[in-house]
Structure 1
């Protein structure tokens, strides 16, 4: 019975010693976990690029001003709006919340803006399209 107790006691001592070494001996209290108030909302990327004027990060030139007419549809991801024309699906990116309200899912609209094919998005659908104006109807 003594032979079983000795390894168990040694194991317990090793585990306790290992835990004691993991604590910082700085005298400072441990940092609390981040709370919801510590979360920072980052702004939506703008159409401006850091490269030469008129070139998105991908190196391809902007397609210039475009006007697209159609019915806005909801994307598969939350808060993603799409408009499809003969060139394919366009992911609508709005800098102005008022314009986004005018282009709700199901609305027939005429939008103006330009494509940003190199822009990253979490929507996973369509080519990002920076909207500069929205007309209902």
Structure 2
């Protein structure tokens, strides 16, 4: 009986560590995106997204499908450092919805001294694809 209890406790602690590790990886991706954005590096900012035609981005102009289309929209909407401003990504909630998926809710804010600050909320769907957490859907408003 003691062995069964020890085994159960061990398995529970390992699953808790895995979840914590997954959450840390997702937070790390969002932190890296913030760093790249604030350096004006949209190409590296996009590394947090799934490089696939099925990537879905929902914004004020509607739905955009595909990694390249999303990157091009970012480049059109934020053509220079002044337009990009300084990004912050406060979290509201990070919730595991399955073994390979997380739902993230947060806020975004761009401090832009010349063009005026902008901000809003976002929801992200992260999926673990080939061992890597990636954003497969982004709704930013």
Smaller-chain TM-score bracket: under 0.3
Larger relative strand fraction: 2
TM-score by length of 1: 0.24
Structure with max Cα Rg: 1
